[in-house]
Chains A and B, each alone.
Chain A
Amino acid sequence: MAENDFKNIKEVFEKAKRGDRESFSEIYEAYFKPVYRYVYLRIGNRAESDDLAQDIFINTLNSIDSASYDSSPLIYFYNVARKSISDWKRKRRRVMPSDENTGDYFNPGPGDADENLKGEEFDNLRETIKELSDDEQDAVIFKFVGNLSSEDTGSLLGISAHSARRLEARGLISIRDILKKQYEQQS
């Protein structure tokens, strides 16, 4: 985890909050990617993800306190992201059109047909994840995309680590069932 690379995590955050560009860039490099990936997997729309991830990042940076530096800033980022997505969904109350394909979202190797195929498959998987409940989506993304422990996932969702593990398993089984149904309908 990049956050371990910081010599003094508190100092970096304090400097960034005061407008120090170098510290800000450091934090951006460490935390923006996981936040962005979470937002994109939950929303599935590029333009909306860009705006929302930017707002989440800045709001987190402005609101984070010293207690959160000492534990895990990433958990704090995810917590703000989770609430922001919940608010966003409530405000919109409508389904945003997802990007039809990964396009420039998914970075395949140059001219690699296999990678392009993987891009389509990943896009299909992303759409499948969106069919899960909000908590199942969060559990699967935090665990297998964000590489959080079930304890951390549980603390983010306000449940025990055991319940978080069950949620992760239920989410994965649901993804498997949906994909299997899709495959059977195609063949």
Chain B
Amino acid sequence: MNSNLEQKKESAVDDAIKLKEAGKRLFYIIGKFPDYESEIREVFGIVAFIKENNAKIFVPKNILKTILSKMTAGSPIQATPLPKKEITQDIHASIAEDEDYGGEPPEIENNLMPGKWKIILPVVILAFIAGITLLRSDSKKKDEIINQHIGTSQNSDELKK
């Protein structure tokens, strides 16, 4: 029911546009479709606004200059590559999108570096801690040996006495 009404409205607006393009005046068109007067008036207003203002969209002229500056006579035209920074941003954006869909991120050099460090850094820290522990245990053993030597020499002195 509702879609039927929508279709009738679409049909009326469609026919009204056709009549307008054929040069018919607004009061004549509205007379043909009195049930859709407000729709037709407002739609025509939107069309007039678009037609009046779309030409004011600023079209940059530097694009022509950029292309022409890269063109050499006798060679086919090529698209000006994006600056490196923008390309990198695009790659990272597409990686983020791929990750959203659960896909493996593509391996690129910059992204591998943090991965390597994730492995290397804990290994270095562990090695450092192990080294300190070993050194400490060595020094403890040395102390014990020294103490033992001191103790035995003291005992032997006392025995001598």
Contact = CB atoms under 8 A, between A and B. Distances in A.
A182 interface: no
Contacts, number: 124
Nearest to B42: A176
| Interface magnitude class on chain A | 35 or more
A33 B59 contact: yes
Given A32-B64, A94-B97, A169-B10, A19 B57 contact: no
Interface in A112-165: 118-119, 121-122, 125, 140, 144-145, 165
A52 B145 CA distance: 79
B117 interface: no
A7 B130 CA distance: 85
A54 interface: yes
Contacts of B57: 36-37, 40-41, 105-107
Contact of A176 (B17, B39, B63, B79): B39
A144 B49 CA distance: 10
Contacts of B39: 173, 176
Interface of A: 16-21, 24-25, 28, 32-33, 36-37, 40-41, 50-51, 53-55, 57-59, 61-62, 91-94, 104-108, 118-119, 121-122, 125, 140, 144-145, 165-166, 168-170, 172-173, 175-176, 179-180
Interface of B: 9-11, 13-14, 17-18, 39, 42-43, 46-47, 49-51, 53-54, 56-60, 63-64, 66-68, 71-80, 82, 93-94, 97, 100
Given A108-B56, A169-B11, A172-B46, 18 more contacts: A19-B74, A24-B68, A28-B67, A32-B59, A54-B79, A58-B79, A92-B93, A94-B93, A106-B53, A106-B57, A107-B56, A119-B56, A144-B50, A144-B54, A166-B14, A169-B14, A170-B10, A173-B39
The 7 A-B residue pairs whose C-beta atoms are closest, nearest first, are A169-B14, A169-B13, A145-B54, A172-B43, A36-B59, A122-B53, A58-B79
29 contacts: A17-B76, A18-B74, A21-B71, A24-B68, A24-B77, A36-B59, A36-B60, A37-B54, A41-B57, A54-B66, A54-B79, A58-B77, A92-B97, A93-B100, A94-B93, A105-B58, A119-B56, A122-B49, A122-B56, A125-B46, A125-B50, A140-B50, A144-B47, A144-B51, A169-B17, A170-B10, A172-B46, A172-B47, A180-B42
